Copies of this chain bind each other. A is one copy, B any other.
Amino acid sequence: MLVIAGPASTELGNRVASLLGVDVVDVFHKVFPDGETYVRIEGNVDGETVAIVQTLAPPQDTNLLQLLLLADAAKDLGARRVIAVVPYLAYARQDKRFLPGEAISINTVIKLIEAAGVDRLITVNIHELDILERFKIQAENLSAMKLLAQHFLEKGLKGAFALAPDQGALIHAKEADEVLGGGHGWIHKERDRITGEIRVSVEESFDVSGRDVLIIDDIISTGGTVAAAARIAREQGARRVYAACAHPLLVGNARQRISEAGCLEIVGTDCIPCPEAVVSVAPIIAEALKNEL
C-alpha cells in the first residue's frame, strides 16, 4: 500500500504512512491564474493499493475536487484499489430535505466519490452514522472521541463530566466518559431551520457543581451550540469548562464566542488543520488501514 498525502491533509497523510511504515506519494498541486485546480501524483501507483488522505475542510469544494481528481487519476494511472480517507466529510449536515426542493448535498457528494473510482471510504465522526449506508462502496466511520478524552486525561481531567451540547452528541459524550470516568449528560437544543436561532435548556438533571466539564461534539462550526452549553455548565457551578471536537471548523468569531462563554480551551483534531488541532487521528486511521497491508 501507498499513501497519497492530499494537499488538504499533507501532514496527516505523512503521519499515517509513518505509522504504517509505507511510502508516501507526494502530490504537486497548484491553482491556475483563472482559479482552476491542478494536481499531479508524483510517484508510481501502477498496480498498487493507494490510500488518498484528503479532508474536506474549507475550502470544501476545491478540496473535494482535488480528492476526485486524485482518485480518478490514481485509477487512470493503474492503481489497483483506491481508498479515500476523508477525515472530515463535508456536506454531511445536508443529509435530508429540510425544505421542499433542497438538494440533499451529501447524497450527491457520495455519488461523486463513487464516480471518481473510490473503492473504500474511511471517515472520522461523520455527522450522522446512517449516511454510511447510502454508499454503494465499503464505507466506515472512525471515532476520535477517545483520543480527545485521552488528551484531557493526560492534562489531569480524570473524572471530568462529559457534556453533550445536544442529543446528537450524546454518543460522543458516552465515549469520552469511558475514558474520563466522570459521568455524562446532555443539553436540549432546538435550531430554527429558517432563522438559525438556537434555543437551549437542560433536558436531564445533572449536577456539575464544582466539577470539571468537557463539552464534546463532532463539529464546532460557528460555536453557538458549544458556547450555550458552556454558559449552562458555568451557571450550574462548573469549575473548569473545556471543549473538544473532531472537526474544529471554528468559523467567524467562534473562538471568541466560546471563550466568552467561560470555556478555557478548545481542542480539536487534525481532521481540520488549524491551531486547535492538537490531537492527531493518524493512529485510528493507520489502524483502519492495516488490513490493506
Q: Nearest Cβ distance between residue A191 and chain B, in whole angstroms? A: 13
Please indicate which of the listed interface residues A34, A59, A69, A103 has the most CB atoms of chain B within 10 Å of its own CB: A103
* A227 interfacial contact with B, CB 8 Å: no
Provide the bound-state CA to CA distance between A43 and B100, in Å: 9
Within 8 A of B (CB), among A106-151: 107-108, 111-112, 114-116
* A21 interfacial contact with B, CB 8 Å: no
* Contact (Cβ within 8 A) A38 B94: yes
> How many chain-A residues does the 8 Å CB contact rule pick out?
48
Q: Nearest Cβ distance between residue A38 and chain B, in whole angstroms? A: 7
Given contacts A101-B43, A112-B116, A116-B111, contact A36 B65 (CB under 8 A): no
Within 8 A of B (CB), among A68-116: 68-70, 72-73, 76-77, 90-91, 93-94, 99-105, 107-108, 111-112, 114-116
List the B side residues contacting A33 at CB < 8 Å. Answer: 221-222, 251-252
* A167 interfacial contact with B, CB 8 Å: no
Provide the bound-state CA to CA distance between A70 and B99, in Å: 15
List the B side residues contacting A60 at CB < 8 Å. Answer: 34-37
Please indicate which of the listed interface residues A91, A104, A115 has the most CB atoms of chain B within 10 Å of its own CB: A115
* A58 interfacial contact with B, CB 8 Å: yes
List the B side residues contacting A100 at CB < 8 Å. Answer: 40
List the B side residues contacting A93 at CB < 8 Å. Answer: 36
Contact surface of A with B, Cβ cutoff 8 Å? 33-43, 58-62, 64-65, 68-70, 72-73, 76-77, 90-91, 93-94, 99-105, 107-108, 111-112, 114-116, 221-222, 249, 251-252
- The contact sample of 24 A-B pairs, CB cut-off 8 A, is A33-B252, A34-B221, A34-B222, A35-B59, A35-B60, A38-B94, A39-B102, A41-B101, A43-B101, A59-B61, A65-B65, A68-B112, A69-B103, A69-B105, A72-B108, A73-B101, A73-B102, A73-B104, A73-B108, A76-B107, A77-B101, A108-B116, A111-B115, A112-B116
